[in-house]
Copies of this chain bind each other. A is one copy, B any other.
């Protein structure tokens, strides 16, 4: 329980997440599990360095310096760089929200994202994590994931919308079809009004998934799948040649 200064400072930073981008001193202290005075002092130091900033409202937010630092992280930077132009092509061809994601443990981690003008209700953002079983990219990644991951995911198929697949047998069947068909689809399983298609990406082995989100899939699924596969192949080729 006795926490080191460093870990306490990090806990302060860890108090921020996608739902809590700005916090007051007392919220920060509470979320970090620190006495007010201690949090106050730590925040002061973090702020001085630029890790935190303070809004006019008095709330604290992540500072620009951490933004800078974060961009230096090699989080799939090779993949992102290789994929970038193809994501734009894909957006150009479909005008849909485009996602590039990898599997991080038992979750989908969105590493790049490209939103169009008219956006269907999409919950993902770059850096956000979502369950593997309820998203298009997630199903693709799950279909090619090691056995233990799949087993783990199957134990808790949490329901998100009325259409979320929570029955292990149904999901297993879908994953089988993903492997034979080469693409995965979802229909309002993550958020109502949003359907998705996704395909695997990789030179040898699946390293990522590429997906798009559209309001409706019935109309031109074939065209979308084709566009996705062209982009995925392009990314795969770029990745392979980069080595």
* A interface residues, Cβ below 8 angstroms from B: 4-7, 9-10, 13-14, 16-18, 21-22, 42, 45-46, 48-49, 51, 61-75, 84-85, 88, 91-92, 104, 114-117, 125-127
CB atoms of A125 and B71 under 8 A apart: yes
Number of copies: 2
The distance in angstroms between the C-alpha atoms of A164 and B65, with both chains bound, is: 29
- Add 20 more A-B contacts to A67-B70, A71-B126 (CB < 8 A): A4-B5, A5-B5, A14-B49, A14-B65, A16-B72, A17-B72, A18-B72, A21-B74, A22-B74, A61-B73, A62-B70, A63-B73, A64-B73, A66-B73, A67-B75, A67-B127, A69-B70, A70-B71, A85-B115, A88-B114
- Nearest-neighbour CB distance to chain B for A21, whole angstroms, equals 5
Main secondary structure of the interface of A (DSSP, over half): helix
- A127 contact from B16, B68, B84, Cβ within 8 A: B68
The distance in angstroms between the C-alpha atoms of A7 and B49, with both chains bound, is: 7
- What B residues does A75 contact at CB under 8 A? 64, 67
- What B residues does A17 contact at CB under 8 A? 72
CB atoms of B42 and A6 under 8 A apart: yes
- What B residues does A115 contact at CB under 8 A? 84-85
- What B residues does A69 contact at CB under 8 A? 13, 16, 62, 66, 70
CB atoms of B6 and A46 under 8 A apart: yes
The distance in angstroms between the C-alpha atoms of A16 and B72, with both chains bound, is: 8
* CB nearest to A84 among chain B residues: B115
Count chain B CB atoms within 10 A of each CB in A72, A74, A84, A115 and give the residue with the most: A72
- Nearest-neighbour CB distance to chain B for A81, whole angstroms, equals 8
Name 8 A/B residue pairs within 8 A (Cβ), A-sorted: A10-B45, A62-B70, A66-B66, A67-B71, A70-B73, A72-B127, A85-B115, A85-B116
